[in-house]
Structure 1
Amino acid sequence: MPTPVDVTTPSDREIVVRRSFAAPRTLIWDCHTRPELMKRWLLGPPGWSMPVCEVDLRVGGAYRFRWRNDEGHEFGSQGEHVEIVAPERLVTTEKMEGFDGASTNTLVLTEEDGRTVLTMTMVFPTKEIRDGALQSGMADGMAISYDRIQEIADEKVG
């Protein structure tokens, strides 16, 4: 079983996800901004790969992801970097294939005593779109993916 993530809905358009890592903030930042690391963890359930992971890490720079599973099914996501304050804050837009509208996602990383707390706040255009994201299994996929980040941290720090 993956380590659960703390998921809350502070408003009818928001999802907030929190997870703590036994790792320095700079490493968790790298996992969210360096394609070679992102391809190792940003996968969701077993059987998925990330053949496309393009990141132009600058304000106004775009990113594009494409996933594929063992049966050949694919989907993608794309967006733009709105704010970058390394290694503590990253704000992006995100448009997922199959979902209406784009979300604005704010990643905040805080570190204390060698542990990093990740807080991801996603703001959706409507309650219905937010609810669709919640019903997609997003929290389970994030829990699995974040366990992979901890594995990367264990390799590099441990």
Structure 2
Amino acid sequence: MTATPLLSFDLDRTYPAPRENVWAAFTRADLLQRWVCPDPEWRVAACEVDAREGGGYRVRFGPRPAGDAYRETATFAVFEPVERLVLDVLTEGEDMAERSRCTVLLLPVEGGTRLDLTVEGLSDAETAEHMRVGWTWCLEGIAEHVGADAGESR
């Protein structure tokens, strides 16, 4: 019996903002909750971030009004400020429980920052496609929230 290979995908997006602002989108709860659930029919019910290696984030999100159909818990396995994050993610809810590893690289480019995302370890092609669509929405959502105030400490 052969095991089904775990699936992965890569996405990238360039933002007209400094790396510090894009980094803050992943490491500040007030910013993460703005883009982590870009579907207007859904809401984020709770969002916490512990911004350090070994820390991570916890988010509850889902359909309105409650917004608690799904939970995502991520641990920052690698935390290299404004350069690289590696997250071990568990997404679970009504109809799923999926583990993945997400690597986020932030590269300086002319006029801004390129984010390279790799998501690995997905269990099947359908899940990989759902996650790819979700992350595509999220990367678009980040674009709306990496303005000048994103890099400021709060």
TM range, smaller chain: 0.7 to 0.9
Gaps of 5+ in 1: 1-10
In structure 1, the residue matched to 2:140 is 147
Aligned-partner residue type, residue 102 of structure 2? N
What SS class does the counterpart of residue 152 from structure 1 fall into?
coil
Q: CA deviation at 1:118?
A: 0.7
In structure 1, the residue matched to 2:115 is 118
Deviation digits for residues 70-129 of structure 1 (CA, Å, limit 9, x no counterpart) = 2546111112111100001001100111444521111101011222111111111x6xx1
Matched residues in 2 for 1:86 and 1:60: separation? Answer: 13
Q: CA deviation at 1:40?
A: 1.1
Gaps of 5+ in 2: none
Detail structure 1 runs of 4+ shifted over 6 Å in the superposition: none
Matched residues in 2 for 1:118 and 1:32: separation? Answer: 12
Normalised TM-score (structure 1): 0.78
Q: CA deviation at 1:156?
A: 4.3
Matched residues in 2 for 1:154 and 1:18: separation? Answer: 19
Q: CA deviation at 1:12?
A: 5.5
Task: Give aligned-pair identity as a percent.
Answer: 27
Q: CA deviation at 1:139?
A: 3.3
Matched residues in 2 for 1:152 and 1:33: separation? Answer: 13
What SS class does the counterpart of residue 103 from structure 2 fall into?
strand
Deviates more, 1:68-77 or 1:12-21: 68-77
Aligned-partner residue type, residue 86 of structure 1? P
Aligned-partner residue type, residue 88 of structure 1? E
Count of residues in Structure 1 that have an aligned counterpart in Structure 2: 143
> 1:89 and 2:53 equivalent?
no
Matched residues in 1 for 2:148 and 2:138: separation? Answer: 16
